[in-house]
Amino acid sequence: MTDVTVLGGGIIGMTAAIRLQQRGARVTVVCAAGTLETVSAVAAAVWYPTHTDPEPRVRRWVERSYAEFLGQAEAGVPGVLLRRTRMLVRADPPWWAPPGTTTTAHDLRFTAPLTEMDRYLPWLHDRIVASGGRFVRRRVEDPAELLDRSAAVVNATGLAAPDPDLYPVRGQLVLVTNPGLDESIRDEDNPAGITYVHPRRRDTVLGGTFEPDRTDLEPDPRQRAAIIDRCTALVPELRGARVLGDRVGLRPARRGGPRVEAVDGPDGRIVHAYGHGGAGMTMSWGCADEVADLVLG
Ligand SMILES: Cc1cc2nc3c(=O)[nH]c(=O)nc-3n(C[C@H](O)[C@H](O)[C@H](O)COP(=O)(O)OP(=O)(O)OC[C@H]3O[C@@H](n4cnc5c(N)ncnc54)[C@H](O)[C@@H]3O)c2cc1C
């Protein structure tokens, strides 16, 4: 049995760990913080390949992930929902419309998988443990340190990977009560700021912001007010919805797109898997397939 260490316990590291286990590897996940202290835990976590390039591998990742989430929703995996969604189109339609999309000059309508991360990340964690995986809480400066105990290491450290092409894109969300909505809507190119409303089971996610290179993590009250105003203009039923909280996180964006690449050194193979920007959930399972291929050959 091949021993593999996955460095990073966000959505990218944990989906890779599961794919590796499914292909027979013995997996240890090493992470500096708990599963719910990751950027992945902040995400609205809706399948929407926005701000991605239409390269063949990204197309493969998003399509495979879409199919995986449809199957998980059908199987009743905790936290996985399917929502009808409507995306306003102000310029050209995007490259990634999934099967069943209907398009007009003004919008795209399709079914978007969504993962409620407070339930989904613990489910991924427990699935890894149930298949014999281990979690170790530890900060690691260099993934190569871990090659002394495993044949290969997956570096899924998100924004923490030392790479000059990585940069943060700050995102702020507001959580409010759900006034009975069951369809999501996005107006990404709203000149006043990216705007989206994603109803979940127990709340509604209102977004958002997209600020390259801003790194403070305190919720900005002016941004909160502006998000609520834009979302309420788009969905008037939100008027009067109670604010439940704010979420702020730094998307791990990378010039040139995600780095998913194997590098062989004297002590073994490191497979890098980071830089998924604002679409880590959207690419996760498809990317995990490729990581498993790179690790196990
Ligand atoms: C506001 C917001 C909204 C978003 N909405 C969506 C959305 O709707 N759809 C979508 O697809 N994506 C969305 N995203 C993007 C998504 O959250 C990210 O792409 C994704 O979480 C990246 O996952 P990751 O596993 O690479 O990184 P992370 O979740 O950051 O995980 C990194 C892991 O590495 C560990 N680590 C880091 N450094 C070390 C070290 N030195 N030693 C040990 N461990 C280390 C951390 O502890 C953590 O476990 C959103 C992001 C934000 C901020």
The finding on whether 278 has its CB within 6 A of some atom of ligand 1 is yes
Confidence at residue 273, expressed as pLDDT on a 0 to 100 scale = 98
The finding on whether 286 has its CB within 6 A of some atom of ligand 1 is no
Q: Residue 48 and residue 35: Cα distance in Å, rounded?
A: 22
Hey, whose CA ends up nearest to atom 1 of ligand 1?
171
Confidence at residue 255, expressed as pLDDT on a 0 to 100 scale = 96
Confidence at residue 165, expressed as pLDDT on a 0 to 100 scale = 98
The finding on whether 197 has its CB within 6 A of some atom of ligand 1 is no
Cβ neighbours around 100 below 10 Å, total: 8
Show the CA angle centred on residue 264, arms to residues 261 and 265, nearest 5°: 135
Contacts of 56 (CB under 8 A, 6+ apart): none
Pocket probe for ligand 1: among 47, 209, 251, the residue whose CB has the most ligand atoms within 8 Å is: 251
98: DSSP letter? P
Confidence at residue 87, expressed as pLDDT on a 0 to 100 scale = 94
Q: For residues 143-156, b (16+ Cβ closer than 10 Å) or e, as one string?
A: bbebbeebbbbbbb
Pocket probe for ligand 1: among 40, 68, 155, the residue whose CB has the most ligand atoms within 8 Å is: 40
Residue 252 Cα to ligand 1 midpoint, Å, equals: 7
The finding on whether 33 has its CB within 6 A of some atom of ligand 1 is yes
Contacts of 143 (CB under 8 A, 6+ apart): 7, 153, 155, 157, 270
Contacts of 26 (CB under 8 A, 6+ apart): 1, 2, 3, 4, 132, 133
Phi, psi of 90 (to 5 degrees): -95, -25
Residue 291 Cα to ligand 1 midpoint, Å, equals: 16
The finding on whether 275 has its CB within 6 A of some atom of ligand 1 is no
CA distances from 1 to 151, 166, 181, 263 (A): 10, 34, 48, 21
Hey, whose CA ends up nearest to atom 21 of ligand 1?
40
Confidence at residue 149, expressed as pLDDT on a 0 to 100 scale = 87
List, for residues 226-275, the tens digit of each pLDDT value. Answer: 999 999 999 999 999 999 999 999 999 999 999 999 999 999 999 999 99
Hey, whose CA ends up nearest to atom 9 of ligand 1?
45
Complete domains list, the chain, with CATH: 3-296 (3.40.50.720)
pLDDT tens sequence for the chain (297 residues): 789 999 999 999 999 999 999 999 999 999 999 999 999 999 999 999 988 888 999 999 999 999 999 999 999 999 999 999 999 988 777 888 888 887 777 889 999 999 999 999 999 999 999 999 999 999 999 999 999 989 999 999 999 999 999 999 999 999 999 999 999 999 999 999 999 999 999 999 999 999 999 999 999 999 999 999 999 999 999 999 999 999 999 999 999 999 999 999 999 999 999 999 999 999 999 999 999 999 998
